Amino acid sequence: MNFGFTEEQVLLRDQVRKFIEQKCPMSEVRKISQTKEGMSVEHWQEMGQLGWTGLLVPEDFGGAGLNWVDALVLLEEMGRGLFPSPFISHSLACFAIAELGTEDQKQLWLPKLASGEKIGTVALLEETDLPQLEGIQLEAKMVGDHLQLNGSKHFVSDVNTADLFIVAARTGPQTDQVSLLIVDKKAEAVSTKTQATVDKTKREGLLQFEQLKVPSTQILGNKDGAADTINRLFDCGAVAVTAEMIGSSEGAHALTVDYAKNRIQFDNPIGKYQGVKHPLANMYVDIESFKSLLYYAAWCVNESPQELSKSISLAKAYASETVPKMGIDCLQLHGAIGYTAEYDIQLYLKRSKWARPKFGDANFHYDRVASLGEY
Amino acid sequence: MDFDLTKDEIAFRDEVRQFLDDNLKQKTDNEFGVSFDADWNKKVREKRWVGFGWPKEVGGGGGTIMEQVILKEEMATRKAPALGTCFMGLAWVGPSIIEYGTEEQKKRFIPDILDGKYQWCTGYSEPNYGSDLASLQCKGVLEGDEYVVNGQKIWTSLAPFAAWMILLVRTDFDTQSKHEGITCLLVDMKTPGIEVRPIENMAGGRFFAEVFFTDVRVPVENRLGKEGQGWAVTVSALANERSSIAEVSALQRRLESLITTARQATRHGKPLLEDPGIRRQIARFEARIEAMRLNGMRYLTKQIKGEPLSSETSVNKLHRANLEVDMAEFAVEFLGNAGLHMRGSDDAVEGGKWIFNSLSWPDVVIGGGTPNIQRNIIAERILGLPKD
Ligand SMILES: Cc1cc2nc3c(=O)[nH]c(=O)nc-3n(C[C@H](O)[C@H](O)[C@H](O)COP(=O)(O)OP(=O)(O)OC[C@H]3O[C@@H](n4cnc5c(N)ncnc54)[C@H](O)[C@@H]3O)c2cc1C
């Protein structure tokens, strides 16, 4: 038994951490988040050279052929540094094509995605914000020999920088009659609209279609055949976001512990007072705990798929419930300095809110735990 | 990451399963899992599964950490009763004697602990020193080849039934730090000068007691470790029970039982489980319990790799404390008026077990170091914040 990381994964973590410390310290995060793109093309290209953009792409198609346990190592470190990047969206797009794509589709898209030349994302949600098959209502109608899309997808992460969208659409009345379509940003009938959100280190928005024609070669796998993959995308998306939440909450926590050791009031470091040290201990307990739950869920993706839904729901519910509270507590423990734009803790607070509903909030996932546990 | 067992571990697991098929007659439904079945106790003893992690030389089973985990998990899955009956002897007295005891002490005490011949009790806390244990004042003075003990202990669990006590006394009152000058003695409870006065707890149990010592003479050969080494003996004793880090079977059983209660109960005429709030709260408990199990696996992995554990066990202790209180309270609350009824009432739900639990959580929550003390441990030893 080894419920820990391999030597390669430990090295990978060091590498990512150094990359982020050197190339993207908080000052840089702030700069990037003020740009229109909200990401650094330079960083992205380097990530391509390091093999990270193709982390989940099979080796046969130019990727590293690694899995979600490896990805979580990257994501934890990215979360810690609030590193702005379409890595999650891109990895999910790669994952979808690798799982469901035909040989031709994989040949056509995966090498370009693996190298980072193209950026991918997934467009799953609609206005109802429901992260399950029932939430997919946008119809793709058969017109002649192609499908036609009319309408919009909401809350599409990295909608502004993606070249390629994996779009979930309804192709029949039964719940599981859903398909995934590959849509090129350059297609004429496609437009995007970036929307303002609380967290400037992330981008998302609308993806709109006006009578878009999707030829059958751009249906991922078979028409009506994407239900399982979409379910796995929801689950793996939750794995990715929760992994980032580990890093970002550890980052916020470390910043606050450090502050508590150094800020003197009433002649003592404030960390000597239990009103300060006990909340910090409680946060440690919560982070350790959803971390263990998440590690197990990430392992399940490949090794025990039948347990994935339950295990990721336990992790994401726990994280979504506790992390935003940590964001608030960490800020409060800083006093007024925490309220300033200049101080970094506020960036973590915003991130904690961003992550909460992504791929399901606590109520959604606790409900799913209950129904999977048949109570 | 992998959860694979080696070939030997699989063989061991199969051996345990076979044993359970052959020998498990009665499942325990009491949460402590005590067995009063002499035949079972004899058989698991013959297998050397009592004290399974202890070295073979002293009569233990020499099991690896993984084998200990497997044994406990298999036993828990089948709801088998506990292995061995001498609680504190198996939990910390035995391990302390193995680490610090003389050959004579090992020969004298270890076999009896394994056989469950009698109970041990633990004389640490005093009226004025609970969380601040290291300040203890119960006095031991060496006179010839005997320590003469005077003072008082309190909250001593099982003292009314125990044959022996592991006792901490102060043998030196003039030391630089309070952790010095403490000595550990093994005391026969029949020694003249010991008086035990049971204390009734709020649930009606009489398991702990005050213990008074008046000129109690303890032979020097019953000192455990060196004079003044008592604190080290205690710390290592309390750090014991490593393979149980991941053990959450009692909580898992309680969760199942909570679901059953909620399934059967109605409130104002409606089935309780139809209330999403109820279901979510149960799922919330499930997440905590599963997190404890997986935290434990992570910490076990560290141990197997030989990495030192800091005070990570406090993480699960805090979870356990919260769950003990919250699960019982949750059930009592959702059962409404019937939830208040105790054993003997016609309206009691399942013999009043939830209201009973809601009165007995201090066993776990206060008994092994309070939640605030666990938070201090995490904040100071893991996060490096200043001591208060
Ligand atoms: C069921 C049960 C069985 C027990 N069995 C035994 C036994 O067999 N042998 C034995 O020796 N003892 C036993 N104990 C005693 C137990 O170890 C002590 O009760 C425990 O260590 C707390 O000590 P105390 O009760 O004196 O409380 P105190 O230490 O007086 O604490 C009172 C309150 O103050 C808080 N507090 C104390 N210090 C701090 C601090 N520094 N920071 C923040 N908060 C603080 C505590 O958290 C607690 O809430 C048992 C207790 C119980 C309830």
How far, in Å, is the centroid of ligand 1 from the Cα of B114?
29
d(CA B72, CA B61): 14
**Residues of chain B contacting residue A4, judged by C-beta atoms under 8 Å apart:** 1, 298, 301-302, 305
Q: Give, rounded to a whole angstrom, the gap between the first and last alpha carbons of chain B.
A: 39
Please indicate whether, in this complex, the C-beta atoms of A289 and B288 are within 8 angstroms of each other.
yes
**Identity of the residue numbered B122:** T
From the CB of residue B177, how many other CB atoms can be counted at a distance below 10 Å?
Answer: 8
Between CA A265 and CA A236 the distance in angstroms is 45
- Helices vs strands, H then E, count in chain B: 13, 10
What is the tens place of the pLDDT at every residue in A220-260? 999 999 999 999 999 999 999 999 999 999 999 999 999 99
pLDDT tens digits along A143-176: 999 999 999 999 999 999 999 999 999 999 999 9
The answer, yes or no, to whether any atom of ligand 1 lies below 6 A from the CB of B155, is yes
- Give yes or no for a contact between B273 and A375, defined as CB atoms under 8 angstroms apart: yes
Q: Check if B284 contacts A (Cβ < 8 Å).
A: yes
The closest of B171, B160, B224 to B194, measured between CA atoms, is B160
Query: Could you tell me if the CB of B124 is within 6 A of ligand 1?
Result: yes
Bridge partner list, A147? A142, A214
- Report yes or no: A95 and A56 within 8 Å, Cβ to Cβ: yes
* Ligand 1 mutation target, pool B131, B238, B361, most atoms within 8 A of CB: B131
* Tokens linked to A39: 């990401």
Structure tokens at B273: 């489980």
Cα separation of B79 and B31, whole Å? Answer: 10
B59, B111 contact by CB (below 8 A): yes
Amino acid at B371: P
Considering the entire predicted model, what is its pTM?
0.96
Backbone CA torsion sign across B77, B81, B82, B84: negative
CA of B367 to the centre of ligand 1 (A): 7
The verdict on the CB of residue B122 being under 6 Å from ligand 1 is yes
Token couple for A251:
């980052």
Would the CB atoms of B291 and A260 count as touching at under 8 Å? no
ipTM reported for the complex, 2 dp: 0.96
Looking at domain B120-230, its CATH superfamily turns out to be: Butyryl-CoA Dehydrogenase, subunit A, domain 2 (2.40.110.10)
CATH 2.40.110.10 in chain B, residue ranges: 120-230
The count of other CB atoms within 10 Å of the CB of residue A186 is 8
Give dist(CA B217, CA B137) in Å, integer.
Answer: 17
In this structure, which CATH number among 1.10.3720.10, 1.10.540.10, 3.40.50.80, 3.40.50.300 belongs to the domain B7-85? 1.10.540.10
Ligand 1 lined by B157 (C-beta under 6 Å): yes
- Inter-chain contact B379–A281, Cβ cutoff 8 Å? yes
Q: Which residues of B are catalytic?
A: 241
Model pLDDT for residues A310-350, shown as the tens digit of each residue = 999 999 999 999 999 999 999 999 999 999 999 999 999 99
Measured CA to CA, the distance from residue A110 to residue A93 in angstroms comes to 10
pLDDT score of B242: 52
Strand A120-123: give its sheet, edge to edge: A120-123, A164-170, A178-184
A contacts of B386 (beta carbons < 8 Å):
261, 268-269, 271-272
Residue A286's pLDDT band (cuts 50, 70, 90) = very high
Multiple choice CATH, B242-382, 2.30.42.10, 1.20.140.10, 3.40.50.1100, 3.40.50.300: 1.20.140.10
- Give the mean pLDDT of A7-36: 98
pLDDT tens track for A92-130: 999 999 999 999 999 999 999 999 999 999 999 999 999
* Residue A329 φ/ψ region, left for φ over 0, alpha for ψ in the -120 to 50 degree band, beta for the rest: alpha
Distance B127 CA to ligand 1 centre (A): 10
User: Which residues of chain B are under the pLDDT cut of 50?
Assistant: none
Q: Where in chain B is the domain with CATH 1.20.140.10?
A: 242-382
The DSSP code for B129 is B
Q: Are B68 and B52 in contact (CB under 8 A)?
A: yes
- Is A318–B287 a contact, with Cβ atoms under 8 angstroms apart? yes
Q: Given A260, A271, A367, which is nearest B280 (Cβ)?
A: A367
Digit-coded pLDDT (tens) for A183-216: 999 999 999 999 999 999 999 999 999 999 999 9
B387 in contact with chain A, both atoms CB, cutoff 8 A? yes
Q: Which domains does chain A have, with CATH numbers?
A: 7-115 (1.10.540.10), 120-224 (2.40.110.10), 228-372 (1.20.140.10)
> What percent of chain A is predicted at pLDDT more than 70?
100
Q: What DSSP string describes B28-76? A: --STT-----HHHHHHHHHTT-TTTTS-GGGT-----HHHHHHHHHHHH
Q: Is the CB of B372 under 6 A from ligand 1?
A: yes
SS3 label, residue A226 = coil
| DSSP string for residues in A67-88 | -HHHHHHHHHHHHHTT---SHH
The residue type found at A264 is I
Structure tokens given for B181? 């000058």
